[in-house]
Structure 1
Amino acid sequence: MKKFNYLIALSLSVLVSACSGDNAEMAESGDELVKSVNVVTQDVKPRTFTSYVRVIGTVETSNDIMISAEVNGRVMSYAVSEGEQVRKGQTIVKIDDAKLRQEKARLEALASQAKENYERLKRIYEEDGIGSEIEYLNAKYNYEQMNSSLESIKVDLANTSIKAPFKGKLESRMVEVGEMVAAGTPVIRLIGSEDYIISAGVPARYADVVQTGDDVSVWFDTQDSDTLNTPIAYTGSSINPQNRTFRIEVDLPQKANQYKVDMIANLRLNTLRRDSVLAISEEYIYSKRNGYVVYVLSQNEKGDPVASEIVVELGPSYKTDVIIEKGLMPDDKLITIGSAFLDDGMRVTVKESASTEIASN
């Protein structure tokens, strides 16, 4: 009999020890043992809830173009080296124009001949009444065609000099001296020296919350400079069907040499701001058959501290914070540490915590 009593006592000791290991205690109430879980609480306070989305953008400039040849020919020379600044209207590339000059001389002769023939037939037809009207008109049209061909050659000759359409920097040369190019062949890339922007695509689901004028935080992984805070300068009105995003643009400070075209930028956009809401960490929210629940500190009929299971309605979330739309009330004592071991009505023992309020952002 003594051995049997000893085994019972040993079993009870092990059971109490196991509960303590799971952050629980056994409290004696009369002749019965009542399970009590050690918990920590925090006062639920209204606060401002904000959510953000991070997108990746690239640095661009409105003056970043590939300039192509407009005539066929061999590249004769470059007047500017890569990386050099150019003035608007400055010649950058010269294409061989020898054949075009010969063609111009030929057309000038033909045009002169056609003009003399036209004027002669016109004079004798109008003054002397000699010849037919059709001959006179044919001579007129032939002269006009020759003159038009001559003007076209003059345009081609002018296009053998590729000039800068704006002030900028010669970024790269696509062909080398001596290479043949055809009309439409890219020859140089020219980048404007000012007015840099960041272009990014924002997911379509944020189309109703991201607007022109909203503040954006911008930073670069390749730079140690502080984060820029600047407004959205442009918001696109269409959705890209390929990736389901819409375009936004952010202006960068002018004449800032640290920015380079095609640099990768990080942008943080505010997608939601709500004041005076109740928001808690998602780790204290539990899914049950009747929805989502949290545990708050309450009392039973005897006045003992117990956990009360509250069904809550969830709202928007950001990172680990979730807005509680319904269920919680201001100044409710939310059970945080130890809540994972609770059921509705379970006895609890409240322990001290370094903070008794939910930190606000």
Structure 2
Amino acid sequence: MNGRIEKIYVEEGQRVNKGELLLSLNTDAIENQIKGVKSTLEFATTTFEKQDNLWKQGIGSEIDYLTSKNNKESLEAQLESLEAQKRMSQIRAPFAGVVDKIFPKEGEIASPGFPVMEFVNLSKLTITADVSEAFVGKIKEGQNVELSFSSLPDVMIKTPIIRVSKVITSSSRTFEIEMEINNPNETIKPNMVSSIKIKDFSTDNAFVVPSLAIRKDITGKYVYTVNKEDNQHIVGKKYITTDLSYEENTMITDGLSKGDQVVVKGFHLVSAGVPVNVVK
């Protein structure tokens, strides 16, 4: 509702409890209306009570009875509406928290659509992230993620996903996920940027090699291996099929066998058929 700010009861940075009065608007006009309606309602109530007694005795017309009854009920509804408006002139804390910022000053006009206070509770935060549609079907509610913050290098939090959006954003081709975290020390602040690690694939057995060890020619991708021939270690060349990569490693799905020794250091200095010394 519109109104002149009568009193601001808090300061920026102040902690308040749920229901505590933060700000009130001037209510002189509403209170005058309430006084007028109460006075008229008192007379209307007395009139109705007398008409009601007469009606029960079979005295008077039905029109007089209904008119007095309707007049009383109409004034009661008007009074209730005015008292509701008066209650709306007081802004109370919707939850326990901190008054972060106060925008207007006492005496200024407050009106709908213009912020009055920025009020926060940092004990529990909601984190949202946009994920590429390529991961649709791989990410589900309840799946654990790891959260980290570049400005807080010592903070790492594991928490489940509580919501996965059902809609793909057409402009970015992403969908939104949501997590909640406890923040008892209020270390994490609203609008901080976080990094989220999501495990979208796992396997018990896989061949994994450093990505840099994978070479490529016109035939395809390959790695150098070491084979023992006539008491010598000879470099071999094996073409491979790669799959997922993560950080500095790549999974090999075909081309390697259990026991193969892959050259992962000095691979740029060797070629197939060259004898080498194996250093472990």
Structure 1 length as normaliser, TM-score? Answer: 0.66
- Which residue pairs with 2:241 in the alignment? 313
Greater RCO (CA < 8 Å, at least 6 residues apart)? 1
Paired residue secondary structure (2:199): strand
Paired residue secondary structure (1:272): coil
* One-letter code aligned to 1:158: R
| Distance in 2 of aligned mates of 1:89 and 1:235 | 30
* Structure 2 contact 21–93 (Cα < 8 Å) conserved: yes
- Which residue pairs with 2:22 in the alignment? 92
Give the C-alpha shift of residue 272 in structure 1.
Answer: 2.3
Match of 1:350 among 261, 275, 278: 275
Paired residue secondary structure (1:146): helix
Give the C-alpha shift of residue 307 in structure 1.
Answer: 6.0
* One-letter code aligned to 1:351: V
| Distance in 1 of aligned mates of 2:112 and 2:76 | 23
Give the C-alpha shift of residue 98 in structure 1.
Answer: 0.4
* Structure 1 contact 173–189 (Cα < 8 Å) conserved: yes
In structure 2, the gaps of 5 or more residues are none
User: Could you list the per-position Cα deviations for residues 97-120 of structure 1 after superposition, in whole angstroms to 9, with x for gaps in the alignment?
Assistant: 100100101111222232233333
Paired residue secondary structure (2:152): coil
* One-letter code aligned to 2:34: K
| Distance in 2 of aligned mates of 1:137 and 1:315 | 84
1:287/1:120 Cα in 2 relative to 1: closer, same or farther (>3 Å)? farther
* One-letter code aligned to 1:331: G
* Structure 2 contact 123–186 (Cα < 8 Å) conserved: no
Give the C-alpha shift of residue 87 in structure 1.
Answer: 1.8
| Distance in 2 of aligned mates of 1:217 and 1:176 | 43
Give the C-alpha shift of residue 339 in structure 1.
Answer: 6.3
1:128/1:177 Cα in 2 relative to 1: closer, same or farther (>3 Å)? same
1:187/1:292 Cα in 2 relative to 1: closer, same or farther (>3 Å)? same
Say if 2:103 is the partner of 1:174. Answer: yes
Say if 2:176 is the partner of 1:251. Answer: no
1:124/1:229 Cα in 2 relative to 1: closer, same or farther (>3 Å)? closer
RMSD: 3.1
In structure 1, the gaps of 5 or more residues are 1-70, 356-361
- Which residue pairs with 2:254 in the alignment? 326
| Distance in 2 of aligned mates of 1:293 and 1:182 | 70
1:227/1:112 Cα in 2 relative to 1: closer, same or farther (>3 Å)? closer
User: Could you list the per-position Cα deviations for residues 175-228 of structure 1 after superposition, in whole angstroms to 9, with x for gaps in the alignment?
Assistant: 22111122454321211252234333333333433445544433322235x242
Match of 2:7 among 54, 62, 77: 77
Instruction: Determine which structure has more spread, i.e. the larger CA radius of gyration.
Output: 1
* Structure 1 contact 316–322 (Cα < 8 Å) conserved: yes
Say if 2:56 is the partner of 1:115. Answer: no
Structure 2 length as normaliser, TM-score? Answer: 0.82
Say if 2:149 is the partner of 1:220. Answer: yes
Match of 1:130 among 60, 66, 70: 60
- Which residue pairs with 2:192 in the alignment? 263
Match of 1:152 among 66, 74, 81: 81
| Pairing 1:175-324 to 2, within 5 Å after superposition | 175-183=104-112, 185-192=114-121, 194-224=123-153, 226-232=154-160, 234-241=162-169, 243=172, 244-254=174-184, 256-283=185-212, 284-289=214-219, 291-297=220-226, 309-324=237-252
| Distance in 2 of aligned mates of 1:338 and 1:219 | 35
| Distance in 2 of aligned mates of 1:86 and 1:231 | 29
| Distance in 1 of aligned mates of 2:202 and 2:9 | 56
User: Could you list the per-position Cα deviations for residues 14-47 of structure 1 after superposition, in whole angstroms to 9, with x for gaps in the alignment?
Assistant: xxxxxxxxxxxxxxxxxxxxxxxxxxxxxxxxxx
- Which residue pairs with 1:51 in the alignment? none
* Structure 2 contact 234–276 (Cα < 8 Å) conserved: no
